[in-house]
Structure 1
Amino acid sequence: MIQVDAKGLMQFINPNFVPIMTNKDRYFVLIGGAGSGKSVAVAQKLILRILKGMSKKKKHKFLCLRKTGPAAGNSIYPLLKDILNQWNLQRLYKVNKTTMSFHFVGGSEILCTGLDDPEKIKSIHGITGVWLEEATEFTHDDFKQLDLRVRGFTWDYKQLILSFNPIDENHWIRQKLFSDDIQAEIEAENQFARKEMTQEVGNKKITYAMSVMHSTYRDNEFLDDVYKARLENLINEDSNYYDIYCRGVWGVLKGLIFEHWEQCDVWPQDFDVSGYGIDFGFSVNPSSIVEAGFRGNDLYLREHCYKVGMTNKEIAVTLFGITHGRMEKPTVADSAEPKSIAEIRSLGHPCMPSVKGKDSVVFGIQRMKQYRILIYRESTNLIKELQGYKWATDRDGTPLNMPVKFNDHLIDAARYIITKLKGVPASLEIIDGSDGKQDFVEAANRETTPGDFAVDEDNDDIWQDF
């Protein structure tokens, strides 16, 4: 018999999130700022519930969702796997990498997927819990359909969990799910709020509830100091971003940079010209790869990679997988990382540095806005970035001629390749005759040459609570 020390596992759980581990309300909503630890806490809660089931010889089936399958594969799936390994539970489960599912001793399951195929979700029965990570990605109809799937008699409570950053006060979660009383509790920076709902069925009144936990980075005891400082510095860059990502309160999306773009269901097979952009990251920021393709006046963008902790070798391997070994299309990466670019080239994949200079970010944005922008529907993180990408403001709310430098990794990658493929807008070439700006214009508009593509060589008393 495999013994699991429940008390020992508690050392891994942030004390500020311990109350959510025992919450049994129908709906549990975790709203808050970046880096608060809410996603980790939800994953830990689901695993603890499965361990409780094992102790009672009972089963769970949890459905963990992002809007798309690729997004789930880059976020909730590796998060759950990391926690299971950190807790040394490898002997208790097997993982199916293809379906992104965990199958536990005793029959419990965790299924990680997206809503790409709603009919597939409808075929899953016996669900005891659903987790909507980055819940603002989902529509109100998505939520209602999932709510209807969590039904029937089960040995333990059923629960829908939503976790997200509050990016827009006009979002359906704020307008449809939150009451004014709940919102008042959040604005008062209270950590927990709860509302009960009563419905008469026949001659019987049935009461169920929704609990809300508000958290910020200050609630995360495991967060590094540099990231804390980065969040606090948002007050100097944009007050709205400071509210959303540092204070964890609903934002007001004004001054969006890209207001007109569409989603497309089909990715074209042929383009007039296309290529790939890379923005490097590692421990906190994700490494990001975007494909950009032009057909007439249409600009197509597709997210290929958005993942933290990637080495340059892993980025190169990912590029080979994306291009299937064909290297005729240019790949442009952040020129601030020359060593990374050199390493990718030494591994056999062409890669050239982006062109930067004074106002290069604004130039890149203006070039993108000259086209009809279509985003491939599976590009969940790119869509999220576009929905929040806005002009910075000062402390008085006055707009500045620069975007907020936060959550823009895929957009940056897109700018690098687009500027290389198309240059900067001709109308901007003679604006301000400073040498730095003109140097940038000339470099960005320079025709690509073949040389640019050269390749360098036992605990029942504990379990009963969860």
Structure 2
Amino acid sequence: MVEHRFKFSKVYQAVFKTLARYIHIWGGRAAGRSYFVTSYFLFLITQPKYFRGAFLRHVFGDIRSSLWQDFKDRVEESDFDENDFEFNESQMTVRYKPTGNTIISKGFKKSAGNRSAKLKSLAGITHVACEEADENYEEDVNKLDDSIRTDKIDDIQIIFLYNPPSRNHWLIKRYYNLVDAEVFDRDGNPVPYYRAIPKENPNILCIHSTYRDNIKNLNRKSIEKYQAYGDPDSQFYNEEAWFVDINGLVSEGARGRIYRGFKHISLEFFRSLPYPSFYGLDFGYSEDPVALVEMKEHNGRLFWHQVIYETGLTNPALAKKMRALSVPKNALIFADNAEAKSIDELKDLGFYQIKPADKGPDSVLYGIKAIIACENYMTDTSTELWEENQEYKWQLDENGQPTNVPVDKNNHAKDAGRYGYTTYKKIRRRKKFTTASPSKEHNGSDDLLNAV
């Protein structure tokens, strides 16, 4: 009988001993996480003990060039007979003939653009490796968790692999407490990055790793490049890459975030501003929330207040909630023009000044640029608005640099504000209505703003 040898990094040894259901393996770049997990699955599939594994990613097809290829590489590198593995390339499944153990591949989505999370055939699964776990929605992961059950073993393992998300991500909020990392930029100024401390929970094992835990498997040039990101004198110096990508710290907001520099104001102060209110509305229902934002504008200053951010609201329920929150029936509301039927229904329900937003070609980029050009203030109570402010981001290119294409996510309230401001601005320019005359309080309000 051939004795097969496995060698695993010490940093991941706890995975073999833990009784925790949830295992988080995350941190900085080049830490060997995918290598470990695919080696671990190779070990498990070749053992006589019952094992049913699953490779999982947000989009099914993305598994092919990641965990699936990595696993095949592990088999090829090993001293196992490749003929003992029965691979199904189209479905990305494998069976180890001597034991009958198997690995399947699943995605929350079959392809990009399909948001459904219809995971089937997970009964009997004992181990899941969820790569790029930060790409997934919390509710989808909850469904996954509920779908995994077996009476074959006592200790199911769900392994999450991910790079550091920002502080508002559900993974961070759910599993970690944050402490200031006390790090500084090239000029010696403190910068907002955080160390994630796992919350006490015996059912969770968290392993944080960086390239330093895998340094013996890296070439010298790669190590020098990683270290150059943190060297202020290097042409490759990159603060965010050094703290997040290399050292695995948690950032204040998403990489490539679109909106920065918003200032806090109180709701009382917002209410006291003597400028006319207008509203932006982004419709939603089951998965996406309805977002209603009240706004005011004066002399290049834009003021935001989140009124509603909620899922499951029908249009009658939305109208009822708007009345309860004292949104005037004559409020000027600019709503997503893709929802003409909903706009008409809200008009019939009493909000007679609701209008479709003026969305033309390149309206998204136009609106983003218009908002960025303003001095922006937002009420402290606008919880989800602040979260979207930190998470709404540009798509990144292959080098991790922001493009000019926004990611259509974490943007419901921001879209509502964009509808409101850009349409209000265009209507004012066309002089189709006049705003209220400035009151005598304007100078005093400006003085207050200067003090914010």
Residue 169 of structure 2 corresponds to: 171
- Say which SS state the counterpart of residue 407 (structure 1) adopts: coil
Q: TM-score, normalised by structure 1?
A: 0.49
Is 1:9 the counterpart of 2:3? The answer is no
CA distance in 1, matches of 2:392, 2:66: 19
Root-mean-square deviation (CA), in Å? 4.0
| Alignment of structure 1 residues 312-327 onto 2, 5 Å | none
Is 1:210 the counterpart of 2:204? The answer is yes
Q: Which amino acid aligns with 2:253?
A: L
Kept after mapping to 2: 8 A contact 1:167/1:388: no
Is 1:223 the counterpart of 2:223? The answer is no
Which structure has more relative contact order (CA 8 Å, sep 6+)? It is: 1
Q: Give the C-alpha shift of residue 173 in structure 1.
A: 0.3
| Alignment of structure 1 residues 262-411 onto 2, 5 Å | 297=361, 387=393, 406-408=399-401
Asked which structure has the greater CA Rg, the reply is 2
Q: Give the C-alpha shift of residue 14 in structure 1.
A: 2.7
Q: For each residue in 1:95-133, what CA deviation from the matched residue of structure 2 results, as whole angstroms up to 9, or x when unmatched?
A: 100001111122211112311155652343211111111
Q: TM-score, normalised by structure 2?
A: 0.51
Aligned pair partner of 2:200 in 181, 191, 195: 195
Q: Give the C-alpha shift of residue 389 in structure 1.
A: 6.1
| Alignment of structure 1 residues 146-165 onto 2, 5 Å | 146-165=144-163
CA distance in 2, matches of 1:115, 1:252: 27
Q: For each residue in 1:371-419, what CA deviation from the matched residue of structure 2 results, as whole angstroms up to 9, or x when unmatched?
A: xxxxxxxxxxxxxx995768xxxxxxxxxxxx9x9424x95999xxxxx
Structure 1 residues 83 and 386: CA distance shift in structure 2, 3 A: farther
Q: Which amino acid aligns with 1:34?
A: R
Q: Give the C-alpha shift of residue 210 in structure 1.
A: 0.4
Kept after mapping to 2: 8 A contact 1:253/1:388: no
Q: Give the C-alpha shift of residue 70 in structure 1.
A: 1.9
Aligned pair partner of 1:93 in 85, 88, 91: 85
Structure 1 residues 299 and 230: CA distance shift in structure 2, 3 A: farther
Residue 39 of structure 2 corresponds to: 44
CA distance in 2, matches of 1:388, 1:35: 24
CA distance in 2, matches of 1:386, 1:71: 23
Q: Which runs of 4+ in 1 moved over 4 A?
A: 117-120, 186-190, 257-260, 385-390, 410-414
Residue 310 of structure 2 corresponds to: none
Residue 121 of structure 1 corresponds to: 119
Structure 1 residues 24 and 47: CA distance shift in structure 2, 3 A: farther
CA distance in 2, matches of 1:9, 1:411: 42
Number of residues of Structure 1 aligned to a counterpart in Structure 2: 264
Structure 1 residues 230 and 413: CA distance shift in structure 2, 3 A: farther
Kept after mapping to 2: 8 A contact 1:67/1:115: yes
Structure 1 residues 215 and 233: CA distance shift in structure 2, 3 A: same
What is the percent sequence identity of the aligned residues?
Answer: 21
Residue 72 of structure 1 corresponds to: 63
Kept after mapping to 2: 8 A contact 1:168/1:253: yes
Kept after mapping to 2: 8 A contact 1:101/1:109: yes
- Say which SS state the counterpart of residue 103 (structure 1) adopts: strand
Q: For each residue in 1:158-199, what CA deviation from the matched residue of structure 2 results, as whole angstroms up to 9, or x when unmatched?
A: 011111111311100001122469x99x96799xx6733xxx
Q: Which amino acid aligns with 2:107?
A: G
Q: Which amino acid aligns with 1:85?
A: E
**Which stretch shifts more, 168-177 or 233-242?**
233-242
- Structure 2 unaligned regions, length at least 5: 111-115, 183-192, 261-359, 370-390, 407-452
